[in-house]
Amino acid sequence: MRLARLETLFLIAAGLLSTGVVAQTVYKCGTTYSQLPCPNATVINADQRTREQKAQADQAAARDARTAAAMETARLQQEKADLAANTPKAPAKAASASKPRKSELKKKKKKDADTLVARSPITKKATVIKPASKASSPS
């Protein structure tokens, strides 16, 4: 992001400095125009603007540069606020709250070993099936 700002600043400065280069001397040699004088050349003012018009153009360019910089700053602040608003926040105690206690683990293991729970996908009711005791099963 800093590189883009530097490039923008460089381009603005180059644009402001090059405005003086535009007003070069132009020579009319017969039916052609040149930057180099020729015999019987007529000097032509290529910049037809008055000093006041040039000053107004320079002020407008500086005003536009300030407006662009202010708009970029506002855009960056808005992007930062949007990013902060849309970033999900991780719960602080979610890991410790989801851990079962040791006593719950022991009860669960016993329950799982003794019974079988079947759930119907249609009614969503749980049916507990207890295994037959080993003493009553035929061997």
Distance CA 12, CA 62 (A): 9
What pLDDT, in 10s, does the model give residues 46-73?
777 888 998 999 999 999 999 999 999 9
What pLDDT, in 10s, does the model give residues 8-47?
877 787 776 666 555 678 888 888 888 888 888 888 877 7
